[in-house]
Amino acid sequence: MKTFVLTVSRVFPTTHKRKGEETWFIESIKHNIGLDCDIPFPTEKIHTIRANYDFWAKRIKQIQKGEAILSIRYWSGKPYHKDENGIGQVEICQLDKDSGISVQKLSFFESDIYCPYAYGLDGISNEPVYNISDIAKNDGLSLKDFKEWFKGYDLSKPMAIIHFTSFRY
């Protein structure tokens, strides 16, 4: 069985104003998919947003067919490096075809982060989603942090919303 890896950040990246601060993504993902964890406050990291929609759509389709699994991980230390114990990535969980995993396309009107449209490809939602605050919240971020996180992305290209739960827009 194929294993696709998706890494999430424990801390805000160096390109963000909050660089180095805890994101609580790991704890939030565990909490929201029903795993036991200590979480200081409830957050809504029920999906992640990634560039390259076509790449992720192909992978999620393979997972939904039962041909692969998604291993969600984080870096134990500095990204792309092993820590002092020789550990690089730590697995949070695995999602398979029965987990509710899916992907939706996120497009921004005229590459403007203030006007997002998310379209469902599975027939559940074909209406655009206008509330960027909800998208940011469900990605585990405030609206301000969300805009800062994605400021360097090419918003003229569709992005992938990878859902960890059965929630869809």
In SS3 terms, 127-141 reads as CCCCCHHHHHHHCCC
Residue predicted with more confidence, 149 or 86: 149
Element (H, E) at 2: strand 2-7
pLDDT score, position 98: 94
Mean pLDDT of the chain: 85
pLDDT the model gives residue 85:
72
User: Following DSSP, what letter does each residue of 46-62 receive, concatenated?
Assistant: -EEEES-HHHHHHHHHH
C-beta atoms surrounding 111 within 10 Å: 12
The whole-number pLDDT of residue 24 equals: 86
Count the helices and strands in the chain (H runs, E runs).
4, 7
The predicted-structure confidence for 78-118, as pLDDT tens digits, reads as follows: 777 776 776 789 999 999 999 999 999 888 876 677 677 66
Burial 78-103 (b: 16+ CB within 10 A, else e): eeeeeeeeeeeeeebbebeeebbbbb
Cβ density class 21-30: b for 16+ within 10 Å, e for less: eebbbbbbbb
Most confidently modeled of 31-45, 88-102, 118-132?
88-102
43: its two tokens:
């957050």
Residue 120 is predicted with a pLDDT of 55
Provide the pLDDT for residue 123.
46
Could you give the percent of the chain with pLDDT greater than 70? 82
Place 47 in a pLDDT band, splitting at 50, 70 and 90: very high
Question: Quick check: 124 pLDDT over 60?
Answer: no
**Per-residue pLDDT at 160:** 94
Contact 159, 95 (CB under 8 A): no
pLDDT for 88 equals 83
Interatomic CA distance for residues 128 and 105, integer angstroms: 10
Summarize pLDDT for 55-82 with one digit per residue, the tens: 999 999 999 999 999 999 998 877 777 7
Helix (H, G, I), strand (E, B) or coil at 9: coil
